[in-house]
Amino acid sequence: MTTDLATSPTRPGRPPAPRRRRLLRRLLVGALALGLVGILGLAGLAVWFWSQADMSNVGQLGFVNQLKIPPLLEPHLDGAGRKVFDLQLQQGTSDFLVGKRTQTWGANGAYLGPTLRAARGDQVAVNVANDLPEATTIHWHGMHLPAAADGGPHQLIPPGSTWSPSWTIDQPAATLWYHPHPHGATEDHVYRGVAGLFLLDDPEAGALPLPDRYGVDDIPVIIQDKRFDRDGNLDFGQSPFSPIGRLGDQILVNGTHDPHLNIRHQRVRLRLLNASTARVYNLGFADNRPFEPVGTDGGLLERPHRTTRVPLSPGKRAEIVAAFQPGERVVLRSFPPDLSLDSVQGRFAGADDTFDLLQVRAGATLTTSPPVPDRLARHRQLDQAEVGRTRRMELNGSSRINDLRMDPGRIDQTVTVGTTEVWEVANRSGNSHNFHVHGVQFKVNDQTDAGPPPALIGWKDTVFIPPGGTVQLLVQLPGYSDPALPYMFHCHLLQHEDNGMMGQFVVVQPGEPPPGSLPSHQHHG
Ligand SMILES: [Cu+2]
C-alpha cells in the first residue's frame, strides 16, 4: 500500500483542490519518469546497436584449422575435343564450428564448389545438375561468352534438371568465379554456399616466374562473412540498419573457420576473392608488410606495384604476391574499409570493422622464389578514337538504375557487337554501390594527368562507386550477338541486386534493329 492511501483517511478535513494538484503533480512526475526511462531505453538500445555494429574477431581466433583448398575439378574430353566439367548443386551439412553442424549448399560437396581450370583457346562445356530444392542459375562471373551461356536470370535451372552451356575460352589468364544468379534470390543462394573459382591460363602468363603451383604457392582465398545462430546454422536475419545488406560477424576462408595456411616457399601468390554478399574488405597483413598486387578481376596487371592494402568489394578478385621469412607467422587481415559513407551509415555498413582472415605459417626453411617480374601482361589497348557512343546510367536509391527496377521482360540497352563504348555510371544515391557488367572486362577511364589510383588500374568487371561518385568505364562489348537473350549489368551488393538494381543489355549485329521486349517469364533451360 502506498503512503497516500494509508494516510488520507486520517485527514478527512483536507480540501480537495490541493489533493487534486498533488495527484496531478504525481501523475506528471510519473509521466516524466516514464518518458525519461523510455528515452534512456531508446538511447541504451541505440548505444547497444551502435556497439554491436562495430564487428571484429581480432584476438578471438586460435587459427586452429588448416585452410581447405577447393579441389581442382578434372574435366573429361568429349568427342568434339571439348573439356567437359560436371557440377552437381546439392544440399549438405558442414562442420564450420566446433561441435556444431550447419545446413549448407554447395557444388559437388556440402559447401562451395571445386575449382574449374581451362586455358585460352579451350572449348569448355559444363553440365550443371541442380539437386537443390529451388530453381537457380550458375553465372560465370568475368567470363567472355555468349549470352545463352552466361548463367544470368534467364538461364534458370529447375530442380532435378541439368543445364549444359558451352563456349570457347577467349580472354587472358585470370581468376574468375561462378555463383548463382536467380532473379530475386541471388543473395540467399550465394549466402547458403554455392560458389567456386574458374581459373584461366594463357601461355604468356604461364611463362612468367610467378608462383603457380595450385594449393602450394598459388593459393585460392575465398573470403565470406557469416552469422551463425546458437545451433550453428546460418542466420538469415537481415542487418536492420545496414544500408548495404546482410553482414556477418564470423569469417570463412574457403569454407574454413579460424584457418591457418602452412607454406614452404618464400613467395606466395594469394588469389583473393570477395565472395561475400555485401561486406567490403580492405586487405593487408597485420604487421603492415608491403606486398605486390599482380592481378585484378580480369587478369594480370601490366606492372606490379607495392602497397600495404588492397580494397575488395563483393565479387571482385585481387591476386597478390607476398614474401615471408622462415618460421614466421603473420595474419592476413581486413582493416576498416573506406566506404565513403557518413559515420553512422558507415558504421552499420562495416566501415569500422576489422577481421583476422588467415594466419600464414612459414616453414622453418623456405624454398627460394624468384622476385616478381617488372613486366607482367601486355594489355590490349582500347583506342580512344575507336570509342563509340557514351551511355549514361544512374544508380538510384538501393533498388533502381535510371529510376527503373529490374524487369526481366524489358531490354534497357541495345549495343553493337564488339564495339567499344564509354559507360558513365553515376551514383545518385546516398548509399554505396558496386557496379558489375556481364560478359566483359572494362577499364576505368581516367584522363587526368595522374591517371587512375592503383585500386582502379587493370581489367575489371566490378567497380565500387561511393555516394555521389561517377566512374567512366571503357567497355569493349561482347563479340557475341543474340537479340533474343540479354546480359545483365547490376549492383553486386546482392541485396541491392535482388531488390531490382539491375538492367539488361542485348548485343546485336551492326544495323540490326533493337529487339522488342522479351516475354516476362522467358527462361532458357
Ligand atoms: Cu548497390
pLDDT in tens, 317-347: 999 999 999 999 999 999 999 999 999 999 9
Label residue 31 exposed, middle or buried (CB < 10 Å: 0-12, 13-18, 19+): exposed
Band (pLDDT 50/70/90 cuts) for residue 487 is: very high
Residue 265 alpha carbon to ligand 1 centre in Å: 40
Residue 246 alpha carbon to ligand 1 centre in Å: 12
Nearest to 511 by CA among 478, 489, 481: 481
SS3 string, 354-416, reads EEEEEEEEEEEEEECCCCCCCCCCCCCCCCHHHEEEEEEEEEECCCEECCECCCCCCCCEEEE
Residue 188 alpha carbon to ligand 1 centre in Å: 16
Calculate the alpha carbon distances from 454 to 204, 304, 429 in Å. 23, 10, 25
Residue 464 alpha carbon to ligand 1 centre in Å: 9
Residue 313 alpha carbon to ligand 1 centre in Å: 11
Which of residues 53 and 198 earns the better pLDDT score? 198
Per-residue pLDDT reduced to its tens digit, 348-359? 999 999 999 999
Neighbours of ion ligand 1 (CB under 5 A): 433, 491, 493, 496
Provide the pLDDT for residue 448. 67
Q: Which three cell numbers stand for residue 51?
A: 556497439
136-140, 424-428, 496-500, 516-520: segment of lowest average pLDDT: 516-520
Residue 214 alpha carbon to ligand 1 centre in Å: 33
Band (pLDDT 50/70/90 cuts) for residue 518 is: low
Provide the pLDDT for residue 8. 44
CB atoms within 10 A of CB 400: 21
Residue 175 alpha carbon to ligand 1 centre in Å: 23
155-159, 319-323, 347-351, 443-447: segment of lowest average pLDDT: 443-447
For residue 9, the one-letter residue type is: P
Chain centroid to Cα 199, Å, comes to: 17
Provide the pLDDT for residue 10. 46
Provide the pLDDT for residue 522. 46
pLDDT tops 70 at residue 413: yes
Q: Which three cell numbers stand for residue 93?
A: 551439412
Cα angle at 164 between 162 and 168, to 5 degrees?
165
- Average pLDDT for residues 208-217, to the nearest whole number? 98
Residue 434 alpha carbon to ligand 1 centre in Å: 6
pLDDT tops 50 at residue 135: yes
Rounded Cα gap, residues 482 and 488, in angstroms? 13
